[in-house]
């Protein structure tokens, strides 16, 4: 599959939405401080630029633009994925962003924004992998190991779409961060990592041929920002998301981060 086809398959970022009000009709939050937490382990959505040490990515650009349109000041903080949803639920942060899939069980703890991006799961493997080519052949490859973060969409996709539905299956090796799963893949400690095409393509581009994506999409997921339950930020952020979709801003960010940006260059 070519990179262009993969990007089209893996990322339909501009979802259909009602045309929003113009930016000057958006709510004005009066310059209030909003603390936004992320993991910085999900290129090209959010990550650390190795050359500059700065936090960059699609989600940073999108959140900065939302803050500008709504007139609030962003303070970015970092935490691990496994702590993020609970921390936002406990009001330690005002917003969480790290390519978080909108799921009903998560809605019991946090509120979600409207979707800002749609993506699909793919299999990330080493560049010289030839023992399997898709989910079916990997499932039959009994010695193959999957690296995943517990409680994530890739974890559940691995359990129910690749393996046997047993969440305790010893073929799944658990890691604290997505970056750690990719490192384990590179060193041969696991044989595949499931990831949406956006993050996976970012790692492939930076790997100099050491990683590749194989097989077809394993499932579709919508990403949303998360908030403490009952947050008064949900409605204005949703209005800003709709405005950014309607005026082409998200289209520009898609081009910048998924087509033009080259990881590691």
pLDDT in tens, 117-161: 987 889 999 999 999 999 999 999 999 999 998 888 889 899 998
CA 127 to chain centre: 22
Q: Compute the distance between CA of residue 30 and CA of residue 23 in angstroms, rounded to an integer.
A: 15
pLDDT band at 44 (very low <50, low <70, confident <90, very high): confident
Specify the 3-state DSSP secondary structure of 72: strand
**Poorest-pLDDT segment among 84-88, 108-112, 219-223:** 219-223
Q: Tell me the H-state helices in 71-123.
A: 81-89, 104-107
Give pLDDT tens digits for 192-208.
999 878 678 878 888 88
Query: How confident is residue 64, by pLDDT bands cut at 50, 70 and 90?
Result: very high
For the CA atoms of 182, 184, 189, 194, the dihedral, rounded to the nearest 10 degrees, stands at -30
Burial of 181 (0-12, 13-18, 19+ CB in 10 A): buried
Q: Which residues have C-beta within 8 Å of that of residue 191, sequence separation ≥ 6?
A: 125, 126, 129, 131, 132, 138, 141, 144, 145, 146, 185
The values of phi and psi at residue 246, to 5°, are: -70, -35
Instruction: Name the band, by pLDDT with cuts 50, 70 and 90, for residue 42.
Output: confident
And the tokens for 9?
A: 């398959």
pLDDT at 18 over 80: no
**Where residue 228 falls among pLDDT bands split at 50, 70, 90?**
very high
Q: Helix 234-246 to helix 58-70 angle, to the nearest 10 degrees? A: 110
Peptide bond into 165 cis (omega under 30): no
Question: Six-digit token pair at 138?
Answer: 């990997």
H-only helix segments in the chain: 3-10, 58-70, 81-89, 104-107, 135-140, 153-157, 178-187, 197-206, 234-246, 249-254
Q: Which residues contact 204 (CB under 8 A, 6 or more apart)?
A: 124, 211, 212, 213
Q: How far apart are the C-alpha atoms of 14 and 248, rounded to whole Å?
A: 9
Supply the pLDDT for residue 50: 86
Q: Residue 263: which pLDDT band, with cuts at 50, 70 and 90?
A: low
pTM: 0.72
Q: Is the model's pLDDT at 104 over the cut of 60?
A: yes
């Amino acid at each position: 599959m070519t990179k262009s086809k993969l990007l089209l398959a893996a990322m339909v970022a501009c979802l259909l939405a009602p045309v929003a009000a113009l930016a000057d009709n958006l709510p004005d939050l009066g310059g209030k401080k909003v603390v936004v937490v992320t993991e910085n382990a999900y290129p090209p959505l959010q990550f650390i630029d190795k050359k500059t040490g700065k936090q960059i990515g699609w989600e940073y650009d999108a959140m900065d633009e939302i803050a500008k349109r709504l007139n609030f000041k962003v303070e970015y903080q970092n935490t691990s994925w496994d702590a993020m949803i609970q921390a936002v639920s406990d009001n330690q942060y005002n917003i969480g962003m790290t390519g978080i899939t909108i799921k009903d069980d998560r809605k019991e703890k946090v509120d979600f924004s409207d979707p800002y991006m749609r993506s699909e799961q793919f299999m990330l493997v080493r560049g010289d992998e030839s023992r399997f080519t898709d989910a079916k052949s990997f499932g039959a490859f009994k010695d193959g190991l999957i690296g995943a973060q517990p409680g994530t969409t890739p974890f559940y996709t691995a359990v129910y779409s690749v393996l046997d539905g047993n969440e305790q299956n010893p073929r799944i090796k658990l890691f604290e961060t997505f970056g750690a799963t990719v490192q384990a893949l590179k060193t041969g400690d696991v044989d595949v990592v499931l990831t949406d095409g956006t993050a996976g393509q970012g790692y492939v581009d930076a790997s100099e041929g050491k990683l590749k994506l194989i097989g077809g999409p394993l499932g579709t997921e919508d990403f949303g920002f998360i908030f403490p339950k009952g947050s008064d930020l949900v409605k204005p952020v949703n209005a800003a998301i709709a405005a950014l979709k309607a005026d082409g801003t998200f289209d520009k960010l898609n081009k910048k981060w998924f087509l033009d940006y080259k990881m590691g260059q």
